[in-house]
Amino acid sequence: MTEQNVKALPLMEAPRKRAHRPPQHWCDLDPEQRRQAIIDLGLPKFRADQISRQFFGRLAADPDQWTDLPAGLRDQVAETLFPPLLEEVSRISCDDGNTVKILWRLGGGDLVESVIMHYPARRTADGRESAARTTMCISSQAGCGMGCPFCATGQNGLQRNLSAAEIVLQAHRGAELLAAGEIGGKPLRISNIVFMGMGEPMANYRAVMQAVRTLHAPAPDGLGISARGITVSTVGLVPRMKQLADEGLPVTLALSLHAPDEELRNELVPITQRYGVAEVMDAAYAYAEKTRRRVSIEYILIKDMNDQGFRADLLADLIHARGNWNWAHVNLIPLNPTPGSVWTASRKEDEREFVRRLEAKGISVTVRDTRGQEIDGACGQLAAKGA
Identify each DSSP E strand in the chain by its residue range: 86-94, 99-106, 111-119, 122-123, 129-130, 133-137, 141-143, 158-161, 192-195, 230-234, 252-256, 295-301, 328-334, 364-367
Domain assignment present for 329: yes
**Which one of 13, 166, 298, 379 is the catalytic residue?**
379
Binding positions for [4Fe-4S] cluster are: 144, 148, 151
Q: What does the pLDDT read at residue 126?
A: 72
Bridge-based pairing state of the strands 192-195 and 133-137: parallel
Question: The domain spanning residue 62 has which CATH number?
Answer: 1.10.150.530
Domain assignment present for 58: yes
* 188 and 57, same domain (yes or no): no
- State yes or no: is 379 an active-site residue: yes
Question: The domain spanning residue 334 has which CATH number?
Answer: 3.20.20.70
Binding positions for S-adenosyl-L-methionine are: 199-200, 233, 256-258, 336
C-alpha–C-alpha distance, residues 177 and 140, integer Å: 20
* 246 and 178, same domain (yes or no): yes
Domain assignment present for 154: yes
* 61 and 146, same domain (yes or no): no
* 178 and 211, same domain (yes or no): yes
* 144 and 183, same domain (yes or no): yes
* 124 and 160, same domain (yes or no): yes
* 238 and 344, same domain (yes or no): yes
Q: What does the pLDDT read at residue 1?
A: 34
Strand partners, 116: 100, 136
* 177 and 289, same domain (yes or no): yes
Domain boundary residue among 36, 55, 80? Answer: 80
Range of the domain at 270: 86-375
Domain assignment present for 384: no
Domain boundary residue among 65, 80, 95? Answer: 80
Task: Yes or no: say if 350 and 307 are a contact pair by the CB < 8 Å rule.
Answer: yes
Q: What sign does the dihedral 28-29-35-40 (CA atoms) show?
A: negative
* 235 and 277, same domain (yes or no): yes
Domain assignment present for 292: yes
Give how many domains the chain has, as a whole number: 2
Q: What does the pLDDT read at residue 9?
A: 39
C-alpha–C-alpha distance, residues 137 and 195, integer Å: 6
Taking only the tens of pLDDT, the chain with its 387 residues reads 333 333 333 434 444 456 789 999 999 999 999 999 999 999 999 999 999 999 999 999 999 999 999 999 999 999 999 999 999 999 999 999 999 999 999 999 999 999 999 999 887 667 777 789 999 999 999 999 998 988 888 777 999 999 999 999 999 999 999 999 999 889 999 999 999 999 999 999 999 999 999 999 999 999 999 999 999 999 999 999 999 999 999 999 999 999 999 999 999 998 878 999 999 999 999 999 999 999 999 999 999 999 999 999 999 999 999 988 899 999 999 998 877 778 899 999 999 999 999 999 999 999 998 765 555 555 555 555 555
Domain assignment present for 11: no
* 173 and 39, same domain (yes or no): no
* 106 and 70, same domain (yes or no): no
Domain boundary residue among 80, 99, 122? Answer: 80
Binding positions are: 144, 148, 151, 199-200, 233, 256-258, 336
Domain assignment present for 381: no
Q: What does the pLDDT read at residue 5?
A: 35
Q: What does the pLDDT read at residue 383?
A: 58
Assign 3-class secondary structure to 188-227: CCCCEEEECCCCCHHHHHHHHHHHHHHHHCCCCCCCCCCH
- State yes or no: is 289 an active-site residue: no
Q: What does the pLDDT read at residue 155?
A: 78
* 64 and 180, same domain (yes or no): no
**Which one of 13, 113, 166, 298 is the catalytic residue?**
113
Domain assignment present for 380: no
